[in-house]
Amino acid sequence: MHFVLQGAFDPALVAIGAALVIGLAGIPGLFIRQPGPGQILSAVVTVLSATAGVPAVLQLLFSKTSTTYMLQWGLPFGLCELVIDPLSAFFLIPVFLVTAAGSIFAIGYWPAAEHSTNERGLTFFYGLLASSMAILLMARNGVFFIMVWEVMALSSYFLLVTEHEKAEVRRAGIVYLIATHFGTAALLVYFSLLAAQTGSFQLPVAGSLSAISPSATIVALAAIIGFGAKAGIMPLHVWLPSAHANAPSHVSAVMSGVMLKMGLYGIFRTLTYFHDPPLLWGGILTLCGITSALLGIAFAVAQRDLKRLLACSSIENIGIITTCLGVALLGVSSHNNTLIYLGMAGALLHVLNHSFFKTLLFLGSGAVIHAAGTREMNLMGGLGKSMPRVALLFLVGAVAICGIPPLNGFISEFILYLGLFLQLKADSLIYLVFLAPVLALVGGLAVIAFTKLYGSVFLGTPRCPDAVTHHEAGMTMQMPMIFFAVLCLFIGIAPQLALHLVSPAIAVCYPLLQLTELPAEYGVILGKISLSGVLLLSAVVIVSLFWRWRLGRAPVTSATTWGCGYQRGTARMQYGASSFSELAVSVFTGIIRQRIDRPVVNGLFPGTARCSDHPSETILERIIEPLFTMIGISFAFLRRLQHGLVHVYMMYIFATLFILMLWAN
Amino acid sequence: MISLADQFLVLVLLINFISLGTSRLIFSIRAVAVQGVILGILPGLIHPFSWHLVAITLVIVTVKGFVIPQLLGRAVRSAEIKREAEPFLGYVPTLLLGALFTALSFGFAGRLPMLPEHQNYMFVPASIATLMSGFLILTTRRKAISQVIGYLVLENGIFIFGLLLAEAMPVMVEAGALLDLLVGTFVMGIVINQISREFSSLDTSLLTSLKEE
């Protein structure tokens, strides 16, 4: 009995148990005929598991040790270990938090009573996705990793095609399925090469491989392609905007907030294997990262679909994380410990931060879409009046994602800036400083994108006549958002505490470097940030209290927002989402083809005319689709082999067997 | 005991020819059932007694000898067909091909690098010959039920090969193989039902109309 209890309180076991229970949470709902109880049960179970899982994971993170469990799986691919080291534990935090929040949100957003046909499947696969991601982080056997990876990819596919009666959703699903299996193909190469190098399917321990051999380069390349396709690093991001836009919002939150990070986790993990990465690797990662960041946010500015905009901004944030990682890798190559620490801390912290504010924003977009009934920003407007709480929470997320103090997005980007400016004093890699203005441009574009989003959705007057039905989101939808808003604010104000989370994970990646604490001078800087954050926050609070006090005392007249003093202003006279961003997008013509169908205006009294814009996905539409069509045409002759005659199919097998036998002779 | 096992294996080979050469479906099904029963008895002849072995024998005899033939017989009765009328390849050429493949498999088995204690058995050649016969039935017959029979014969071939390893075979693998067989039969049963409902015939060559354009 004593041993049982001791085992039960082992945090690693609690974490594994929580992961498994979340996976099973959706199953009872499949067998309950009445819609509703299954969903609530699943949410309760998920939240309880997460409340058990998060402290366990934190304990594992701070203990700075790794716990190993052996899975008896009876397959001929060597030992199947489940290991939770601080790096896994760090990535497990968002897995638990975001999935728990999403499952509560689903009760209000996707009520079983209204969606009786697909709610069961949605709840089931949601749990499966969360569980597979958690197990993935623990898997240390290549074959097992691929299996769990596929469970993750397929369950997210089924979540994505929840509304498969819509053609657009099916198309997004197909693109996602192809992209994710393209990545899996690269991962098969990756794990086979690793196995060939190490002699087993066990993932190598940190710093055990040399990066000089040519096969190491291929391993790294396969990792960037395979994991990058999942993370959405350019140019492998093609599946991301449509997939995130077409999934139910809480699923988008999990996909963007957590699933993309699984790709990044793979890259993190891969980089730990090598003790001497060449300068080129860091260079390539940095370049990919900064390109993704810049183009991702440029695409985001051009979008007119609320969720597509958020999805494109995910590409940007993944780009920023990749840039941090690249910078850290450059630090490893040039033996600059401070650069390693700043790069890694920026990357890991941004992983955590992005999963917080992006979840907040996607959940917020879910609440908005639930109220407005459309994803088209040009049709929204004035939602801030009917749903003030959601508007405030969304504002917190938007400010955070733009990297504005005192919220958490600022902290991680600031750490990256520190790393970049550090190179001014260094005698090598000075050109890294030039990344800082690019990063600033990214930040500026992010502000444009989110001003566009917030302005056209929440401010102004409703552009749609049926806006009267807008309603504030219910408590189940607000609570998860409040939770993440508080987390964003907390990390923004207490960055030192967040860095305590990050340090053990960095120590796992580079155990030889003794990097555990931030150099003292940066600690001072962070302290000042923290102080100014508190001041800023109290200023905001004081000003808004003062404003409310004034509002209560003075006579209030209500008029049209942005009415410009006209007597009879209409909603259509205000700036639309597309018109707001047109100028910014026009700078990027060539990369973003924003097609605007402009009406020709003739005479003094022109008739009714329409103007519409269509942001295109350059890489998908210009490169990948033509490529696939070409491949389809050139392999058309192979289709003759697929004629539907079962016997001849059997004959194929028979012939193959026969030839093999003759060959063996 | 070994010689007895070999005689049984000869019987298995002869049954292959029965199912290759007959057009009457019920007869073919019964022949395959007998083959299944023989295969169920075989492990008892070549391995020392154990309860594990008894269990294997019982399960195999039940499934291969009774359950699956029963299911197939019901399908034949409900579809109201008695004969495989027009196979892709006639019965005499099929028999000749079967003989050729049996001879080839003996030749092939002789060249395989095997353990000395397996060297003199007929297990490997019989296994390959049965497998080939199964394939022949699968490729030359038109009716869905004949396809199931072919599939069963093929499975029997694989099973004979597994007999050599019966002691090393963990329960999981056995269960897997049997489950595979049962599921295969079910799938085929569904196919039979669907084809006969859709095309009012059991001709699998009609499935070409399902092909993607």
Six-digit token string for A516: 């555990």
Mean pLDDT (whole number) for A274-293:
90
pTM above 0.90, yes or no: no
CA–CA separation, A130 vs A137, rounded Å?
11
Which chain B residue lies closest to A656 (C-alpha atoms)?
B135
Structural domain contains residue A440: yes
Structural domain contains residue A659: yes
Q: How many CB pairs below 8 A link A and B?
A: 47
Distances in whole angstroms, Cα of residue B21 to Cα of each of A289, B70, B151:
68, 22, 16
How many percent of chain A have pLDDT more than 90? 43
Looking at per-residue pLDDT, the higher value among A347 and A521 belongs to A347
Mean pLDDT (whole number) for A266-286:
90
pLDDT for position A3: 40
On whether both A544 and A639 belong to a single domain, the answer is: no
Mutate to test the interface with A, among B139, B158, B191, B212 (most CBs of A within 10 A): B139
Ordered alpha helix ranges (H), B50-170:
51-60, 68-79, 91-111, 123-140, 144-163
Cα–Cα nearest to B24, from B87, B68, B78, B98: B87
CA–CA separation, A375 vs A198, rounded Å?
49
Type of residue at A640? R
pLDDT for position B1: 55
Mean pLDDT (whole number) for A562-591:
78
pLDDT for position A146: 94
On whether both A660 and A516 belong to a single domain, the answer is: no
Which chain B residue lies closest to A663 (C-alpha atoms)?
B108
pLDDT for position B90: 85
Picking from A646, A651, A657, the nearest residue to B207 by CB comes out as A646
Q: Is A645 on the interface with B (CB under 8 A)?
A: yes
Q: Are A296 and A319 in contact (CB under 8 A)?
A: yes
CA–CA separation, A426 vs A335, rounded Å?
11
CB contact under 8 A, A647 and B210: no
Picking from A642, A647, A657, the nearest residue to B211 by CB comes out as A642
Structural domain contains residue A159: no
Q: Is A76 on the interface with B (CB under 8 A)?
A: no
Domain boundary among A534, A550, A566: A550
pLDDT for position A398: 94
On whether both A402 and A540 belong to a single domain, the answer is: yes
Q: Are A99 and A126 in contact (CB under 8 A)?
A: yes
CB contact under 8 A, B140 and A647: yes
Q: Residue A543: which residues within 8 A CB-CB, separation 6 or more? A: none
Looking at per-residue pLDDT, the higher value among A35 and A563 belongs to A35
pLDDT for position A302: 87
Q: Collapsing DSSP states into helix, strand and coil, what is residue A614? A: strand
pLDDT averaged per 10 residues, chain B (length 213): 80 91 88 90 78 81 86 78 76 91 86 70 86 88 81 84 66 63 70 69 68 60
CA distance A72 to chain B (A): 14
Over 90: is that where the pLDDT of A128 sits? yes
On whether both A396 and A492 belong to a single domain, the answer is: yes
CB contact under 8 A, B209 and A650: no
Picking from B108, B111, B211, the nearest residue to A643 by CB comes out as B211
On whether both A509 and A365 belong to a single domain, the answer is: yes
Q: Is A644 on the interface with B (CB under 8 A)?
A: yes
Which chain B residue lies closest to A655 (C-alpha atoms)?
B135
pLDDT for position A598: 81
Mutate to test the interface with B, among A73, A645, A647 (most CBs of B within 10 A): A647
On whether both A544 and A660 belong to a single domain, the answer is: no
For residue range A543-554, list pLDDT tens digits in order. Answer: 999 999 998 888
Please give the tally of structural domains in chain A: 2
On whether both A540 and A646 belong to a single domain, the answer is: no
Picking from B136, B141, B211, the nearest residue to A644 by CB comes out as B211
Q: Residue A254: which residues within 8 A CB-CB, separation 6 or more? A: A98, A99, A102, A126, A129, A130, A359
Range of the domain at A660: 635-665
Find the chain B residues whose C-beta atoms sit closer than 8 A to any C-beta of A: 88, 107-108, 111-112, 128, 131-132, 135-136, 138-142, 147, 150, 172, 204-205, 207-212
CA distance A485 to chain B (A): 51
Q: Is A657 on the interface with B (CB under 8 A)?
A: yes
Looking at per-residue pLDDT, the higher value among B167 and A166 belongs to A166
For residue range A605-663, list pLDDT tens digits in order. Answer: 888 888 887 777 777 777 888 888 898 889 888 888 877 777 788 788 888 888 887 78
On whether both A398 and A546 belong to a single domain, the answer is: yes
CA angle A325, A345, A433 (to 5 degrees): 60
- If pLDDT is split at 50, 70 and 90, which confidence band does A4 have? very low
CB contact under 8 A, A644 and B141: no
Picking from A642, A647, A665, the nearest residue to B138 by CB comes out as A647
CA distance B70 to chain A (A): 25
CB contact under 8 A, B205 and A645: yes
Structural domain contains residue A124: no
pLDDT for position B207: 65
CB contact under 8 A, B139 and A647: yes
pLDDT for position A382: 82
Mutate to test the interface with B, among A73, A643, A646 (most CBs of B within 10 A): A646
So what's the ipTM on this one?
0.75
| Chain B residues within an 8 Å CB radius of A645 | 205, 207-208
pLDDT for position A138: 92
For residue range A99-126, list pLDDT tens digits in order. Answer: 999 999 999 898 888 888 888 889 999 9
Q: Residue ranges per domain, chain B?
A: 2-208
pLDDT for position A125: 94
Mean pLDDT (whole number) for A386-409:
91
Picking from B108, B139, B141, the nearest residue to A654 by CB comes out as B139
| Chain A residues within an 8 Å CB radius of B108 | 661, 664-665
Which chain A residue lies closest to B111 (C-alpha atoms)?
A665
Domain boundary among A499, A531, A550: A550
Q: Residue A581: which residues within 8 A CB-CB, separation 6 or more? A: A301, A302, A448, A449, A452
Picking from A644, A653, A664, the nearest residue to B208 by CB comes out as A644
Q: Which of A52-56, A299-303, A373-377 has the highest mean pLDDT?
A: A52-56
Task: Give Dmax over CA atoms of chain B in angstroms.
Answer: 57
Domain boundary among A514, A530, A550: A550
pLDDT for position B202: 65
On whether both A528 and A660 belong to a single domain, the answer is: no
Mutate to test the interface with B, among A658, A661, A662, A665 (most CBs of B within 10 A): A661
Structural domain contains residue A175: no
Q: B171-199 vs B144-163: helix axis angle to the nearest 10?
A: 170
On whether both A518 and A660 belong to a single domain, the answer is: no
Structural domain contains residue A309: no
CB contact under 8 A, A650 and B142: no
On whether both A639 and A499 belong to a single domain, the answer is: no
CA distance A165 to chain B (A): 21
Structural domain contains residue A497: yes
Over 70: is that where the pLDDT of A588 sits? yes
pLDDT for position B85: 65
On whether both A349 and A469 belong to a single domain, the answer is: yes
For residue range A134-146, list pLDDT tens digits in order. Answer: 999 999 999 999 9
Mean pLDDT (whole number) for A172-185:
93
Q: Are A2 and A74 in contact (CB under 8 A)?
A: no
For residue range A198-217, list pLDDT tens digits in order. Answer: 888 888 888 788 888 888 89
- If pLDDT is split at 50, 70 and 90, which confidence band does A5 have? very low
| Chain A residues within an 8 Å CB radius of B212 | 642
